[in-house]
Amino acid sequence: MYSPYHSHTKIVSSIVLFDTFVAILLVLVLSPLMLINALLAIVAGKSALRSMQRSDALGRPQSLLQWRKGVLKKSALLFNVMKGNISMCGVSLHSVCTNDALSTLTPLKPGIISLFDTHKSVGNIEMTHGESIRHHEKHNSIQFNALLIVKYIICSILYRNSSKGLSSPLKFSLFGININNLTLNEALEVIFNHTSIRAKSVFFVNVNSVNLAHDNKDFLETLNCGDYVFADGSGVRLGAKHNGINLRDNLNGTDLLPHICTQANARKQSLYLLGSAPGVASTAAKNLQIQFPGLVIAGTQHGFFNQEQEADVIADINQSGADICLVAMGSPIQESWVSRNKDKLNTHTTMAVGGLFDFYSGRISRCPMWMRELGMEWMYRLMQEPKAKFNRYVVGNPLFLLRLFTQVKNS
């Protein structure tokens, strides 16, 4: 007879065996370094290992081993894994879960590697800390953990340790573009805060934006006239790192929208969707209202209208009573439209969001999660539309890197 309890116990037991095997394998690989660490401590008249009292993300106290001397001091955590105190993959030992009403009751042990910290290293904001823990719980298996270890290693090579020796200012400049360096929660406060009398404009800057602004000074000026400009994508993260800046989060519009919808429901604010081809915005609106029951979308309007119709479009937005207007017309048209018309709108925030509606309408499929976790969504977009995206990625990305590594830092 099938028993969910026995099935769960079998999965947990197999994960424990997997963790033990990986830990032993890594200890064997690192044994020369570990031996040197032990000898250095003995020569100094101290014990090789020391116990460090730490708490995991949920505040559960842990006694963790660390080498007293030498390099890779935290490799001693592998002994904790072998003893069964912690797992290879589990709840973060580095970050505190503060923004979720999450019970400390979870079957996941603290882990050397966590899904949240892996996401954080690349700036992925799709899941809150609590959501990442629940996601790990739901999919916890040898396969999930093995893939998480691989993703963690790749992210460590490409993105991790980006904060070491780097500053995290609230604002920085990249190729003359002034960018606000905010966390997800800070960005949401900016978007929903309407205490100011003047309407706010919010833009997103990716590699393509940087390339366009380099050749189009009017576009550069438009971006810098925006009230807030958020960093979007692994290319901008690399550019910031090269200039000594640590990006706090990857605030791309596609990943930000679900958080906006959740907050809109909680704060009883409404959205207006403007842009894209006829039918796309309305379909995106319907899909979002299915995904977020209770979400108020005050109106939609496609982006194929002429100058003579613009006044009617603005009147429709204002009559809708929308609090936030999302404008999807592609760069640099959308930023220019927002800058030109934001003071005519009654919305407290107007955002230029690129191809956002195409994804949420289903017209264009979203990149697989594992590629987003590695900051490789641009590669998927290129495979989807090789002709349309050739100049943007095949030409644009190398051009950005060439400019990046030949520029004067902090220019």
pLDDT of residue 410: 46
Residue 113 domain-assigned (yes or no)? yes
User: Which tokens belong to 72?
Assistant: 């890779």
185 shares a domain with 140: no
Residue 65 domain-assigned (yes or no)? yes
- The angle at the Cα of 126, spanning 190 to 57, to the nearest 5 degrees, equals 95
Residue 166 domain-assigned (yes or no)? no
pLDDT of residue 100: 58
Residue 164 domain-assigned (yes or no)? no
332 shares a domain with 222: yes
Q: Show the domain range for 208.
A: 171-406
131 shares a domain with 189: no
136 shares a domain with 59: yes
> Total structural domains in the chain?
2
Residue 74 domain-assigned (yes or no)? yes
The whole-chain average pLDDT of the chain stands at 90
Other residues' Cβ atoms within 10 Å of the Cβ of residue 194: 15
Per the CB < 8 A criterion, the answer to whether 357 and 366 are in contact is no
pLDDT of residue 23: 96
238 shares a domain with 90: no
208 shares a domain with 138: no
188 shares a domain with 139: no
147 shares a domain with 19: yes
First-to-last C-alpha distance (Å) of the chain = 68
**Domain-ending residue, one of 132, 158, 184:** 158
182 shares a domain with 75: no
Per the CB < 8 A criterion, the answer to whether 74 and 43 are in contact is no
- pLDDT 10s digits, 216-272: 999 999 999 999 999 998 889 889 988 889 888 889 888 999 999 999 999 999 999
175 shares a domain with 150: no
**Domain-ending residue, one of 97, 128, 158:** 158
Buried b (16+ CB within 10 A) or exposed e, 317-348: beebebbbbbbbbebbebbebbbebbeebebb
**pLDDT exceeds 50 at position 2:** no
Residue 287 domain-assigned (yes or no)? yes
The answer, as to whether pTM is greater than 0.85, is no
**Domain-ending residue, one of 158, 192, 216:** 158
- pLDDT 10s digits, 372-392: 888 888 899 999 999 999 999
Residue 328: which pLDDT band, with cuts at 50, 70 and 90? very high
| Strand boundaries in 14-144, DSSP class E | 49-55, 61-67, 87-89, 111-113
184 shares a domain with 154: no
Residue 27 domain-assigned (yes or no)? yes
- pLDDT 10s digits, 93-105: 988 887 655 555 7
215 shares a domain with 76: no
Residue 411 domain-assigned (yes or no)? no
**pLDDT exceeds 50 at position 411:** no
